[in-house]
Structure 1
Amino acid sequence: MRKILFILSILIISLSAADVNASLSEMLRNSKGEITTDFSPKIFPIQGIHKKLNLACIDCHKDEKQKDYSSAMNNSCLSCHGSYSKLGETTGHLGHNDNIHANPHYESLDCDTCHKSHQPSVNMCLRCHTQDSMKKLIVK
């Protein structure tokens, strides 16, 4: 009986470790999808407007440890871009229906759900909404 309990304990610990390693490996993927522990600008280049503004890693990542970069990003984004309601006003010229910052479900999304700093941004709307439903919302 002790042998069976020991084997079950080892199995449970192994499965838990595999789960943690799987989520960690997703966090450690560079812009090419390769797993890395090198967080240099060469591996994680700054893209888009942040690149044009010549921002450095420390401008967004502040003093966090590398393992906390992903979880701390929303606060970092909002420290420069303002609150969600301010973003809604700033991007108001887009119109309510096609302005995610003025949309009722935007607060449940992290900034980096749509906006990527180290790879091209993605149209997350199409993950839930079809192209046709989006056209109906946007066309006035």
Structure 2
Amino acid sequence: MRLPDTNVLLYAVNRHSPQNAVARDWLDRSAREPQGMAMVWVTLVGFIRLATRAAIVPEPLGVDRALAQVQQWLDHPSVQVLQPGGRHMDILARLLLEAGTAGNLTSNAHIAAVAIEHGAEVLSFDKDFAKFTGLRYKILS
């Protein structure tokens, strides 16, 4: 099961992004795989936050369109929303302590901890995921 992070979702929808085709292709392929695709709320909420900001995307989505896009992903039959489990805090703490920081890595560490708990592979353009021991990830390019 593959779990896209926020930037994959954003690039897949932002047709002006140089990563648009790659992100869209990976989302489409992941949704067709037998094991399905995973989502976590922090990436979905992050998508809404970023996709509606003119400072981030040249043509920001209206809130209604951003929410509709999230709903479309959630309604897809192969998408499963993963929740933190009983080991989440221990895994999150280990990842942050091993990285030696929290700050801007905190959301990525949360995504990584959920992925580790559920055996999911994170898809991202963000090389920071390489800092998390035990995480299966693919850096898209």
TM-score, structure 1 as length reference: 0.29
TM-score, structure 2 as length reference: 0.29
Which structure has the larger Rg?
1
Higher relative contact order by CA 8 Å / sep ≥ 6: 1 or 2? 2
**Structure 1 or 2: larger strand share?**
2
